[in-house]
Amino acid sequence: MADIHGTYDERFAQVRDVLAANLDAGLDLGASVAVFLRGEPVVDIWGGYVDEAKTRPWEQDTIINVWSTTKTMAALCSLILADRGELDLHAPVARYWPEFAAASKERVEVRHLLAHTAGLSGWAEPVSIEDLYDWEKATSLLAVQEPWWSPGTASGYHAVTQGYLVGEVVRRVTGQTLGTFFANEVAGPLGADFHIGTPSECDDRVAPVVPPPSLADQLGAIDPDSVAARTFSNPVLDASVSFEIPWRRAEIPAANGHGNARSVGVIQSVLACGGEVGGVRLLSEKGCEAVFEEQANGTDLVLGVPLRFGVGYGLSGELLPIGPRACFWGGWGGSLIIADYDLNLVVTYVMNKMESGLVGDVRGAGVALAAFAAATS
């Protein structure tokens, strides 16, 4: 059996076994798993390697680009501001970002950005990878763009654009970039090793991802005029871009957060525990419950799968049947976070070997099933 490091409550030994089995089978190269119950870590484990040559072991402080799991951090920042009364989730975006009212978007609300229903799942104007590092350009193009469908009527996964849209609202409200607000108001108070705009002092701890099958190849089978093709083809992301320092330093709040299962878990435990973890309160109980206000329920226009969205998170549905007051999201390649408000339980899985899935895969699901079985037994 693969060597698994860290600590776990014996009640959750099956979670360790799932990670070990994934490593033994070659499904994982290196990974970390955490389970928090009532805000306390009952599983904090890791194993495998950070490199394909298997010369460098995954360590306790290894971090990695978690792709769209980053979206849960941006969502949490928005919920905190709403709970403080500084941001109205049902207000027009243009109240905070006047330029956004262009192209008939004056009635698009903040909640639409958080639920992928704003109709801005991609850029209409040509955008390069380098443009993603230019906050002003990326947000200004979205501000003047016409929606691709009627906002609020359906979800269409805002794979990269969501971070700029939500982040610009946060910047207009607070005067801080989303990455700075997150560091000062969330990660810092919780002592969590998660970064949106990762500093150079973290570089030697970052594990490179093992890229999945080419997204460009997958796009070849999709109607080029479809919302999905327009979303993913401008620009086409290659996971190897995450190796580059400009990507790491930039703030791309939908896609380039760096952390591990432990840091994702402690942060998202805020939601699962009524707003307070380790004596640090970031939200009221009512502020947490805002997540469960259903915003969309149907086949997502971009991902083509049945999805039910609340405010900033996916909710229990056909894709992932979880508790009635549980929420989730995952990252390109396989990372996953599930937070259950009723059980006060958070399960997180972060890895370096990416599969083709955009919002998690069976490896994270196996970890979650084992954790929920232990928590409810």
Active site residues: 68
Q: For residues 273 and 276, what is the distance between their CA atoms, to the nearest angstrom? A: 6
Coil, strand or helix at 251: coil
Instruction: Answer yes or no: are the C-beta atoms of 334 and 310 closer than 8 Å.
Output: no
Query: How far does Cα 376 stand from its chain's mean position?
Result: 26
Amino acid letter, residue 327: C
DSSP alpha helix (H) spans, the chain: 13-24, 71-83, 110-114, 135-143, 161-174, 178-182, 188-190, 215-219, 227-232, 245-249, 261-272, 285-289, 362-376
Q: For residues 117 and 371, what is the distance between their CA atoms, to the nearest angstrom? A: 32
Instruction: Answer yes or no: are the C-beta atoms of 73 and 45 closer than 8 Å.
Output: no
Beta bridge partners of 256: 67
Instruction: Answer yes or no: are the C-beta atoms of 66 and 258 closer than 8 Å.
Output: yes
Beta bridge partners of 65: 258
Query: How far does Cα 306 stand from its chain's mean position?
Result: 18
Q: For residues 305 and 123, what is the distance between their CA atoms, to the nearest angstrom? A: 22
Beta bridge partners of 8: 43
Beta bridge partners of 4: 47
Signed CA dihedral, 199, 200, 204, 207: sign only: positive
Amino acid letter, residue 173: V
Burial-class residue 319 by CB neighbours within 10 Å (0-12, 13-18, 19+): middle
**CB atoms inside a 10 Å sphere around CB 290:** 19
Q: What percent of the residues of the chain are helix, what percent strand, and what percent coil, each to the nearest 5? A: 40, 20, 45
